[in-house]
């Protein structure tokens, strides 16, 4: 199946990582490819301690919204190429494409390229795509779509991201 977690609310990556932990509990193997993100987040430290989860980041330690540069595009395209091979191999039961929707939205690669990669997957591979602004083509392709909707967020009151909670 193909799952999509999108919307402007908090929790898309967190939900996908929770599914990764559930999959490991069922003796499944997981690959997480993070687009746009290159910084070291607390959840990555935890997940890297779990043998059945492999994580690769395809972003730099910075990303300025709306100002994509050749380095960010290059990293994203390199990641998409690597993930296509991973999906074709069938080595992993669950493959999470974290922030792939954002990568499409900011033209790091096209929605057609992302769909081509998804279509190349081995039959046994579950795919989760996260990130705001999911393209209608991705929503149509998906078997499950969850939209996280922000109702209220303390960021709006000036609270910075906290280690262990948001980062």
Note whether residue 167 is domain-resident.
no
Structural domains counted in the chain? 1
How far is residue 41 from each of residues 13, 44, 45, 47, 61, measured CA to CA in Å? 12, 5, 7, 10, 11
Note whether residue 163 is domain-resident.
no
Note whether residue 95 is domain-resident.
yes
Note whether residue 164 is domain-resident.
no
- pLDDT 10s digit of each residue in the chain, 167 long? 999 999 999 999 999 999 999 999 999 999 999 998 766 777 778 888 899 999 999 987 666 566 677 888 899 999 999 999 999 999 999 999 999 999 999 999 999 999 999 999 999 999 999 999 999 999 999 999 999 998 887 777 888 877 777 77
CA dist 95 and 88 (Å) reads 11
Domain region containing 25: 2-157
pTM of the model: 0.91
CA dist 44 and 42 (Å) reads 5
Note whether residue 83 is domain-resident.
yes
Per-residue model confidence as pLDDT tens digits over 57-100: 998 766 656 667 788 889 999 999 999 999 999 999 999 999 99
CATH number at 76 reads 3.40.50.300
Note whether residue 145 is domain-resident.
yes
């Amino acid at each position: 199946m193909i799952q999509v977690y999108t919307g402007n609310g908090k929790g898309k990556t967190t939900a996908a990582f929770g599914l990764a932990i559930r999959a490991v509990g069922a003796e499944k193997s997981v690959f997480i490819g993070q687009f746009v993100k290159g910084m070291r987040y607390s959840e990555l430290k935890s997940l890297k301690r779990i043998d059945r989860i492999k994580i690769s980041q395809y972003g730099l330690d910075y990303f300025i919204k709306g100002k994509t540069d050749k380095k960010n595009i290059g990293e994203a395209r390199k990641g998409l190429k690597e993930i296509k091979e991973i999906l074709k191999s069938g080595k992993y039961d669950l493959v999470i494409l974290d922030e792939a929707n954002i990568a499409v939205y900011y033209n790091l690669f096209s929605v057609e390229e992302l769909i081509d990669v998804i279509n190349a997957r081995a039959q046994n591979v579950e795919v989760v795509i996260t990130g705001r602004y999911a393209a209608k083509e991705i929503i149509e392709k998906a078997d499950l779509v969850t939209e996280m909707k922000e109702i209220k967020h303390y960021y709006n009151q000036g609270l910075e991201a906290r280690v262990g909670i948001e980062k």
